[in-house]
Structure 1
């Protein structure tokens, strides 16, 4: 079975940290909802977080497992149960368990602005009720896009079937399209055969998916703030001494700050590569382009409120007060 990252050996940990042979060491098992060969956000987080985690918590190491070990939609439960201790994921993958933080993808702002507005603390409190501790919220501002194989009709998706997970359905419908759910591995063939005429997804990673070979229209504006979650089993976190808890949370905060310039540069490079491959930017027409942030926010907060109204409403109040969402 392929693993996503090479495990850090105990011998290496002993060498780097100076931990005496025979001393107690902990190896934490981290699940990721993506494989680093196809998902650049997961690659960055693994390459940044794991070494910093191990430096901050001498004697502790991380072995990471990808979706080939546990399917993304099934990953939350084994982490809550303590079979795995860490989880890197997105709220769409536990939509059926909780939607409390689902609409965070409609909250903009910098990492610092989100923390100062109370967004981080509110999300943390919500996951605490599920037996999980928030370590980091990793945002990618204006990171969602839609690609189409067919030209827009009056600047909209009229008559088109657009592949997208639940997070995109409201926006696709508002712009005249018909949302379609399908596994990401089937999207290329569906676009190529005309089963769907477009697909929604993050800009980062679009080149590796190669949808641009069969869907050459890059619909603009981009929208939303894809937000990735680094979570820890609560019992595991609480078992750490207070100084190590603080050190781990500082690692999470540093990861968030490091992600901002990294992903801004990565998105610029990704878009340039798509255009160089023959893709063309097309614009949503009329007043709809200006309405996208409102449509996006209303759709996500409405979906979240269906099952988790209390936390969803608090998040929107906090974000609105700080000017981070419509």
Structure 2
């Protein structure tokens, strides 16, 4: 039996190397349980990648917060413990405080990709979080206040926070501090029990995913208008992303951009349906009035920039130039 000469062997590997290469497998974790609207949307993205990348790249969803608790998810990705995460920027602020710009800004993701804003925030995540940003999901959905009891409005038309004990997240902690509200920082998994036991009597969250947690059983009032916007990100550990083949990278990046655009359109429609469903089940919308309404929205925008600048002012001027 003759052995192939090195040159012949190299030529054969060039022809068959791609076909023989092992499929890249990416492990992923989501910040919400499988049945939630967010996790279902992420699962559709994963299915699309796996179909387009058959034999090249595959994403395996390992689970949600039962696998890695939300407060640890950003650092788990940074260290390479997990490859890909579905995680709001608001739960990543200890690593990348600049991520708050995604909720504070009204710039649509498609425009952010055109004017360089997306490239800028991606570069910051790479430097600070060892993360490659892939998509900004659900960006057409905003946050609402949801209350157990009918909220009172002050003379200026803003909600009176005097009797409200609000569940908050790190994302909007600064806003409610500025407004003098009483709040408790809690992960989503603790909210149902807190509402049930009367530890809190209000919540701040988007309509998207709200009823899937069962919180609408307790909060019978939705306060309008919405504030901020969803900042859910699909991202990858940067080292793991760089280790992928160029073909695998392109499949993931292109598919993520497609799902980002689809998410922006679909989420706007879905949010209205979800709000209507909760109203049909007995929930009542309460609208803030001007000038208090405008004051509240201005306070929300200002709080985000205030917090970002206080934590690290390095990129603030560039972020304002592109995102405002």
d(CA) in 2 for partners of 1:272, 1:200: 18
- After superposition, what is the alpha-carbon deviation per residue over 1:178-209, rounded to whole angstroms, capped at 9, x for unaligned? 12223333323433443322111121111122
Query: Where do residues 223-242 of structure 1 align in structure 2 (5 Å cutoff)?
Result: 223-242=227-246
1:61 aligns with 2:35: no
Structure 2 CA distance for partners of 1:131 and 1:189, relative to 1, 3 Å: closer
The Cα shift of 1:163 comes to 1.0
1:100–1:309 Cα contact (<8 Å) kept:
no
Candidates 100, 108, 125, aligned match of 1:102: 100
1:305–1:313 Cα contact (<8 Å) kept:
no
TM-score, normalization by structure 2? 0.84
- After superposition, what is the alpha-carbon deviation per residue over 1:219-252, rounded to whole angstroms, capped at 9, x for unaligned? 0001211111111122222223434433322112
Q: Equivalent residue of 2:313, what SS?
A: helix
d(CA) in 2 for partners of 1:103, 1:172: 17
2:28–2:61 Cα contact (<8 Å) kept:
yes
Mean CA deviation greater in 226-235 or 238-247: 238-247
1:148 aligns with 2:147: yes
Unaligned runs of 5+ in 2: 1-17
Structure 2 CA distance for partners of 1:204 and 1:165, relative to 1, 3 Å: same
The Cα shift of 1:266 comes to 1.2
- After superposition, what is the alpha-carbon deviation per residue over 1:144-203, rounded to whole angstroms, capped at 9, x for unaligned? 111011232324122321111122223334555212223333323433443322111121
The Cα shift of 1:95 comes to 2.3
1:216 aligns with 2:229: no
Mean CA deviation greater in 271-280 or 246-255: 246-255
The Cα shift of 1:270 comes to 0.6
The Cα shift of 1:54 comes to 4.7
The Cα shift of 1:210 comes to 2.3
Match of 2:12 in 1: none
The Cα shift of 1:253 comes to 0.9
1:44 aligns with 2:41: yes
TM-score, normalization by structure 1? 0.84
d(CA) in 2 for partners of 1:178, 1:187: 16
Match of 2:164 in 1: 160
Q: How many residues align?
A: 300
Query: Where do residues 1-326 of structure 1 align in structure 2 (5 Å cutoff)?
Result: 23-37=21-35, 39-56=36-53, 58-65=55-62, 66-129=64-127, 130-153=129-152, 154=154, 155-156=158-159, 157-320=161-324
Mean CA deviation greater in 260-269 or 91-100: 91-100
Structure 2 CA distance for partners of 1:311 and 1:27, relative to 1, 3 Å: same
Structure 2 CA distance for partners of 1:278 and 1:229, relative to 1, 3 Å: same
Larger radius of gyration: 2
**Alpha-carbon RMSD:** 2.2
Mean CA deviation greater in 240-249 or 199-208: 240-249
The Cα shift of 1:62 comes to 1.3
The Cα shift of 1:138 comes to 1.5
Structure 2 CA distance for partners of 1:189 and 1:88, relative to 1, 3 Å: closer
d(CA) in 2 for partners of 1:204, 1:262: 11
Q: Equivalent residue of 1:317, what SS?
A: helix
Structure 2 CA distance for partners of 1:23 and 1:121, relative to 1, 3 Å: closer
1:79–1:232 Cα contact (<8 Å) kept:
yes
Unaligned runs of 5+ in 1: 1-18, 321-326
2:174–2:307 Cα contact (<8 Å) kept:
no
The Cα shift of 1:268 comes to 1.1
The Cα shift of 1:217 comes to 0.9
